[in-house]
């Protein structure tokens, strides 16, 4: 490896570790103070609190890695510009694109590492952290079979939902069982689907069975639509179902196949599936953007200005990325475009800035 490449690689890794540690610590600190009231109310022992936040560390690292790459590139190239090292390299006939090669390679390496982290470690640790939060902190009664089926135990009621679609707050394959004090079934409600609107669930194609006290038989009634208080909200179902970050690419792909084979719409999950591949490439995008901003700025503007511009670009990226995903969830963009559009836009923007930096 050439001296320049060794120097850049060493400096990039050094500042990446510093930035990653700092940003992750800030993230965890803010997360701690947001959740401290719930943790205290649940009387969770200190050991479980440490386990909970320890399990969240891989997810936090995965989220802040792109910012770490961006700031590391900005700092390294910014210092090189400030110390006239870039001028010296240009005087020796070294082009910007020669210097950019190790940055691009590092970006690709971080992309592979980020994908591996999201594929292997994050699903396991986030699953454990969410279990602690739901069962020990919130003490929720909702449970999931880790597939589509959701079971919710209420006050002498047990509800079963075959599939929940968060995008439009719709549930499918609904069964509600109601019991008396002796745990005798007094009512059962079956519905093809339900939609949450105006603060209540509206069930469609309803079959209701009510226990007749006189002879112990069940009276069956049919309704096209019926408003029913099921005892839970869409937010409760969101917490009950297995999150996409708790599933690997293979698990999510198999889940989508199962959902679609049963005739349900899995558009939102297809968006998340494409995002699992698209998101790690943000490391490469941030490498290009960071190098372009650092080399494009004027020396008199200072390193702080480059970092400010870089953070602004990162904010714009995540804003546009979230917006595109929302359009994909709503079916306004195809899943693959919703996941990759922001990467394409910022790759073009970063390349344009880098080409004009020379």
What is the tens place of the pLDDT at every residue in 169-180? 888 889 989 888
pLDDT score for 16: 92
What CA–CA distance (Å, rounded) separates 172 from 161?
A: 6
What CA–CA distance (Å, rounded) separates 96 from 108?
A: 18
What CA–CA distance (Å, rounded) separates 212 from 222?
A: 16
Q: Which of 199-203, 255-259, 291-295 shows the highest mean pLDDT?
A: 199-203
Predicted TM-score of the model (pTM) = 0.75
pLDDT score for 146: 47
Residues 243-264, mean pLDDT to the nearest whole number: 81
Q: Which of 76-85, 254-263, 289-298, 329-338 shows the highest mean pLDDT?
A: 329-338
If 0-12 CB within 10 Å is exposed, 13-18 middle and 19+ buried, where does residue 246 land? buried
Residues 133-148, mean pLDDT to the nearest whole number: 63
pLDDT score for 297: 62
Bridge partners, 200 (sequence order): 197
Distances (CA, A) of 42 to 32, 166, 256: 14, 28, 35
Does residue 298 have a pLDDT over 60? Answer: no
pLDDT score for 357: 67
Residues 135-159, mean pLDDT to the nearest whole number: 70
Residue with the bigger pLDDT between 168 and 314: it is: 314
CB 69 within 8 A of CB 107: yes
Residues 18-40, mean pLDDT to the nearest whole number: 89
311-317, long-range: CB < 8 A, 24+ apart: 311/71, 313/70, 313/289, 313/346, 314/66, 314/67, 314/70, 314/286, 317/282, 317/285, 317/286, 317/342, 317/346
Of 25-29, 140-144, 253-257, 332-336, least confident by mean pLDDT is 140-144
Task: Name the region of 333 (left: φ>0; alpha: ψ -120 to 50; beta: rest).
Answer: beta
Does residue 1 have a pLDDT over 60? Answer: no
pLDDT score for 56: 92
Does residue 262 have a pLDDT over 70? Answer: yes
Q: What percent of the chain has pLDDT over 90?
A: 26
């Amino acid at each position: 490896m050439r001296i320049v490449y060794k120097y850049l690689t060493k400096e990039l890794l050094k500042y990446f570790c510093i930035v990653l540690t700092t940003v992750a610590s800030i993230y965890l600190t803010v997360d701690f103070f947001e959740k401290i009231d719930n943790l205290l109310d649940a009387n969770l022992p200190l050991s479980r609190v440490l386990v909970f936040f320890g399990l969240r560390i891989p997810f936090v690292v995965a989220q802040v890695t792109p910012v770490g790459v961006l700031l590391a590139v900005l700092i390294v190239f910014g210092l090189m510009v400030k110390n006239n090292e870039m001028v010296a390299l240009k005087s020796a006939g070294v082009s910007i694109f020669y210097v950019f090669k190790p940055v691009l390679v590092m970006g690709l390496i971080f992309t592979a590492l980020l994908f591996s982290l999201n594929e292997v470690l994050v699903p396991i640790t986030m699953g454990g952290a969410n279990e602690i939060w739901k069962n020990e902190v919130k003490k929720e009664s909702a449970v999931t079979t880790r597939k589509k089926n959701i079971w919710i135990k209420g006050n002498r009621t047990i509800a079963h939902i075959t599939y929940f679609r968060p995008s439009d707050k719709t549930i499918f394959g609904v069964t509600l069982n109601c019991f008396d004090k002796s745990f005798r079934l007094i009512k059962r409600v079956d519905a093809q689907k339900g939609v949450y609107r105006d603060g209540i669930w509206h069930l469609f194609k309803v079959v209701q069975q009510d226990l007749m006290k006189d002879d112990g038989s069940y009276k069956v009634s049919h309704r096209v639509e019926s408003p029913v208080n099921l005892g839970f909200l869409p937010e409760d179902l969101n917490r009950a179902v297995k999150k996409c970050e708790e599933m690997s690419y293979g698990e999510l792909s198999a889940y989508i196949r199962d959902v679609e084979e049963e005739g349900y719409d899995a558009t939102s999950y297809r968006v998340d599936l494409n995002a699992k591949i698209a998101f790690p490439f943000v490391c490469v995008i941030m490498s290009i953007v960071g190098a372009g901003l650092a080399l494009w700025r004027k020396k008199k503007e200072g390193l702080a200005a480059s970092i400010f511009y870089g953070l602004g670009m990162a904010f714009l990226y995540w804003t546009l990325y979230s917006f595109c995903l929302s359009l994909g969830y709503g079916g306004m963009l195809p899943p693959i475009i919703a996941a990759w559009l922001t990467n394409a836009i910022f790759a073009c923007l970063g390349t344009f800035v880098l080409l004009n930096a020379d």
